[in-house]
Amino acid sequence: MFEKVICVFLIAISTSCVQSKYEYNPLINGWLAVYKYAATWTEAYERCYNDGAMLASPTTLDLRFAMLAEIIDSNITFYYTGTSAMFYPGPQYKSIDNIPIEDMPLSGMTRNLDVNNGRCAVMTKDSIVEAQCDNKAPFMCYKKYEDIKYTVCGTTDTEYKFINATGSCYKMHQELKSWNDAFETCASEDAYLLVLNNEEELNSIEPLFNISENRTWIQVGLRQFSKKKDWLSVRGERMEQIFDKWYSNNNSKTLRIRQNYNCGNLRIKNGMKILSDSVCEDKEYFICEKDPSNIRFVIEDFKELKNSPSVSVE
């Protein structure tokens, strides 16, 4: 359900849909995620890197077959691979983990690559062909199996802090980003922009703010989409279900509609903390909220993993 809500919001704010479901496959000794939205090669590379994975290439026979199965199952003609001549002089194509294309098990597949036609490689069901790296295509990310030690927040990111009063984890990002960029940053961390359920939650997370300015704004997971200008959270909730205290003693129903002010933030001024509407392109601090049970790289149910030697929780 979480991925579906995230996907709906990303489609609404951009042409991309961050789908970060990694499936473990023992045959490839790791996890594979299929991203069906179109991205440039660099965007695909960064997406996988931010996931803690790498842009997949058919470097082993089992990985080739796993990628081929996804291509056939999705009915998408081609996917970007991590194979490129981006980082190497001359016409040399290699995977992200530095395996030359000549050493990949591609028997039976057409692989006529010419850097003059493109320095990045896409994979179809029967070939590896060059492409211009600025073209957009779906892609797959691969994460090789390793002994992953998770925090109580279900992540390796120690900046996420568990708050017992809410049962959620939070991370304060003190770099300035637009609402859309903040949204995607949180999604890349298997989290979402902060959604305040009530004033008690706001008070519980206040120590995380750690902001020296007397007046600032923090991006939160609220946005207007409908023609009626109704506000929704990134989890799909209406405002009457969550914290709904806005500036000038308003709630979301009485708030004056301002053109292009379609994103929500938390206004902090002289100790006062209230919601405010803002222009989505404005760059502000932001907070990501994470469900501790939402873990990216798992093999079995999380409860079973706690006692497993392969994945431990600290």
Rg of the chain over all Cα atoms, to the nearest angstrom: 22
Give the pLDDT confidence score for residue 104 in this predicted structure. 94
Nearest Cα residue to 140 out of 60, 64, 89: 64
Residue 305 has pLDDT above 50, yes or no: no
Structure tokens at 158: 């120690």
Q: Which fold has domain 2-144?
A: Mannose-Binding Protein A; Chain A (3.10.100)
pLDDT digits (tens, 9 = 90+) for 178-198: 999 999 899 889 899 999 999
pTM of structure: 0.75
C-alpha span between 252 and 182 (Å, rounded): 22
Neighbours of 127 (CB within 10 A): 15
Cβ(308)–Cβ(188) under 8 Å?
no
Give the pLDDT confidence score for residue 66 in this predicted structure. 96
Mean pLDDT check: name the lowest of 76-90, 113-127, 255-269: 255-269
Residue 54 has pLDDT above 60, yes or no: yes
Cα dihedral sign for 129, 132, 138, 144?
positive
Distances (CA, A) of 143 to 66, 105, 205: 13, 19, 33
Give the pLDDT confidence score for residue 18 in this predicted structure. 54
Percent of the chain with pLDDT over 70: 82
Cβ(133)–Cβ(40) under 8 Å?
yes
Between 116 and 54, the more confident residue is 54
CATH superfamily of 150-290: Mannose-Binding Protein A, subunit A (3.10.100.10)
Q: Return the DSSP state at 87.
A: S
Q: Return the DSSP state at 237.
A: -
Mean pLDDT check: name the lowest of 82-86, 269-273, 298-302, 310-314: 310-314
Q: What are phi and psi of 240, to 5 degrees?
A: -65, -10
Average pLDDT taken over every residue of the chain: 84
pLDDT confidence tier of residue 214, bands split at 50, 70 and 90: low
Q: Return the DSSP state at 90.
A: T
pLDDT digits (tens, 9 = 90+) for 10-51: 444 544 445 558 999 999 999 999 999 999 999 999 999 988
Secondary element (H or E) of residue 232: strand 231-233
> Are both 2-144 and 150-290 of the same fold?
yes
Give the pLDDT confidence score for residue 135 in this predicted structure. 95
Mean pLDDT check: name the lowest of 29-38, 207-216, 229-238, 296-305: 296-305
Could you tell me the residue ranges of all domains in the chain?
A: 2-144, 150-290
